[in-house]
Amino acid sequence: MTGLTGLVFASADTQFFINICITGLTTGFLYALIALGYTMVYGIVELINFAHGDLFMLGCFFALTLGGAVMALTGSPMATIALMLLATPVFCAFLNMLVDLTVYKALRTAPKLAPLVSAIGVSFVFMNIGLFWGGSQDVNFPGLIEERNLLAEDSGLQFTTTDLLVILVTAPVMIGLTIFVKSTSLGKAMRATAQNPVAAQLMGINVNRVIAATFLIGGALAGIASVIYGLKIKTIGYQMGFQNGLYAFTAAVLGGIGNIPGAVLGAIVIGMVYSLASAYIDARWATAMVFVILITILVFRPTGLLGARTREKV
């Protein structure tokens, strides 16, 4: 009798654990999209773009406004989602590039602190725009996707429609990005510029164009994250950029800042740690746990999980 109860409990524990992992994984995938923008920009101009989280926040408001209009016009959730997924990345991409052209570009040869402080400034500007756009209260994002468990109820496992959405959108994006950076001419130019901008110029690479492309791509990824976040989390607010940006940035550092697969890995680790710590320790300690893990890993691997290890011979 006790044995049997024990078995049922164990199995319920396992189910609980798996569910927590699924949550962790989808959270991680979401952070990965944002983390990629930090890591790619850092890799190429050595700038920690503090405004990136707030760009993501503005993307959420853009998606909300656009979604509301399209939904009112067409009444079709599918068309609305599709349009949000197309237009929001474009909006964020150009906004990101615009900031680079108007603010960071002029400071390219200035001491690193100058663009960094400017990025913090841009972050505040974005937050204020968000405040005007959406007000000081959190806003509900329309539930365009019916939240439904895709797994059989008696399995005790939870994998919902929005979980599927996260995977369906982010996985191809990340695979596509990897292929792009690995094999296309622009992708190779990006890696070369990140590794040695002067040599890249001597190869005939237009470094300014490569940097602009990096801001475009990083922005587009944040825009995709905005839509997914809105559809999955369903609450947005002007302050959301700070915390989400911080997690994503942490993910980028954890994986090895400047390293693209590293950012994805770091984001998954952080999503997992956050989710497991919330479930098994205390939600209030989850953030602290994330940073405990970060610091521990950085003590043993200062360049992050996948950070550059090749010695550069002079």
Partner 1 sequence: MSDPLHKDQDLRADDGPIEESQKTSETPLLNVSELRSGYGPIEVLKGISLHVNAGEIVTVIGANGAGKTTTLMTVSGCVKIRGGDITFDGRSLTGIPAHEIVKLGMAQSPEGRKIFPRLTVLENLQMGAFTVRDQVRVREDIEKAYHYFPILKDRQKQLGGTLSGGEQQMLAIARALMIRPKLLLLDEPSLGLAPMIVLKIFEVIRELNREGMSVLLVEQNARLALKIANRGYVMETGSITATAPAQELLNDPRIQAAYLGE
Asked if 203 touches partner 1 (CB under 8 A), the answer is yes
Going by C-alpha positions, the residue among 246, 249, 215 that lies closest to residue 96 is: 215
Residue 205 interacts with partner 1 (CB under 8 A)? yes
Buried b (16+ CB within 10 A) or exposed e, 100-114: beebbbebeeeeeee
The reply on whether position 192 binds partner 1 by CB under 8 A is yes
CB under 8 A: which stretch of 27-35, 141-149, 293-301, 303-311 binds partner 1?
A: 303-311
Stretch that binds partner 1, among 17-25, 111-119, 132-140, 205-213 (CB under 8 A): 205-213
* 191 lies in the binding site for partner 1 (CB under 8 A): yes
Alpha-carbon separation of residue 75 from 14, 70, 78, 145, 227 (angstroms): 41, 7, 9, 13, 18
Instruction: State which residue, 102 or 196, has the beta carbon closest to partner 1.
Output: 196
Select from 173, 207, 260, 305 the one that contacts partner 1 (CB under 8 A). Answer: 207
Specify the residue for token string 């040869």. 109
By CB under 8 A, tell whether 311 contacts partner 1. yes
111 binds partner 1 (CB under 8 A): no
Lay out the site mask for partner 1 across 126-165 (x = CB under 8 A, - = otherwise): ----------------------------------------
Can you name the residues that pair with 140 across neighbouring β-strands? 235
Using rule CB under 8 A, residue 201 touches partner 1: yes
Nearest CB to partner 1, comparing residues 14 and 196: 196
Task: Please enumerate in sequence order all residues whose Cβ is within 8 A of that of 6, keeping only pairs 6 or more positions apart, or say none.
Answer: none
Q: Among 140, 196, 235, 243, which residue sits at the site for partner 1 (rule: CB under 8 A)?
A: 196
Angle 212-128-70 (CA atoms, 0-180°, nearest 5)? Answer: 75
d(C-alpha 187, C-alpha 202), whole Å: 17
Would you count residue 40 as binding partner 1 (CB under 8 A)?
no
Instruction: Please answer whether residues 95 and 61 qualify as being in contact, where contact means their C-beta atoms are separated by less than 8 angstroms.
Output: no
Cβ 174 vs Cβ 32: under 8 Å: yes
Residues in contact with partner 1 by the rule CB under 8 A = 185, 188-189, 191-192, 195-196, 198-207, 308, 310-314
